[in-house]
Amino acid sequence: MAALTRHAFLSGALARYSPILSRPTNLLVVPARGTKVKKPPQKPKKKATFDAFFTSIESKGFLRPYKPYNPAKDASQRLDSVCQSVGVSSNDETRIDDLLVRFKLFAKCVEEFEHSIPNSKLITIQTIGDLREFYRTPVITTTPYEALQNIELPPNLYIQPEANRFHPDTDKMFNGKTAFPQSATLVTGLKYKDKYPGHRPEKPWPIKVHSVFDH
């Protein structure tokens, strides 16, 4: 009798919540051990181009220390001569897969154009057409701040190209004294460390360090 009553109670409860249980739910299906799970197909990655490479650098607000390069008008013809000397076809569709051929060709190009290929660009050069595009692309190392000096600016705007740093040996307007005697002008960057001398001020009074043995 008790079992029959319990069965009737559960039947009524399930009937009451049947609309909720009948709704589709997002269940986490765990595969059985040893079952291989197929991964969804991934989209092929787009090949990096030279324009996208330099555009990403410009968007970061700084330029890497690349050597400036201005391609010659006959860069394409000179590249054809380099390919002929190495024994490689100058067709743009020719692939450069052999490592020894790549080394000889790139070394000859560096000698011819005086412009080396950075390590980050070696993987993007797969064909002669990629190599031709690289040596026909100029490398401009002028920062946006330096470029402002070569354009006509409004009369209320002035660009100071060189940094103005205080140094007691060169600034003699107030006998080499500054309004901030305790502030140091240190140049920590490797690029400007030799261009702008730093200065560390001396303490105007000696500082005595007390120890526990003075008492």
- Map residue 187 onto helix, strand or coil: coil
Provide the token pair at 194: 């030799």
Domain 74-136 class in CATH: mainly alpha
Phi-psi map region of 87: left, alpha, beta (phi>0 left; psi -120 to 50 alpha): left
185 strand-pairing partners: 199
Grade residue 208 by pLDDT with cuts at 50, 70 and 90.
Answer: low
Per-residue model confidence as pLDDT tens digits over 104-148: 999 999 999 999 998 888 989 999 999 999 999 998 887 777 788
Please tell me which residue, 51 or 116, carries the higher pLDDT value. 116
pTM of the shown model: 0.50
Cα–Cα distance for residue pair 112/194, rounded to 1 Å: 32
What residue ranges do the domains of the chain occupy? 74-136
Residue carrying the six token digits 């997002």: 26
The closest alpha carbon to 109, from 135, 72, 77, 89, belongs to: 135
The pLDDT score that the predictor gives to residue 148 is 83
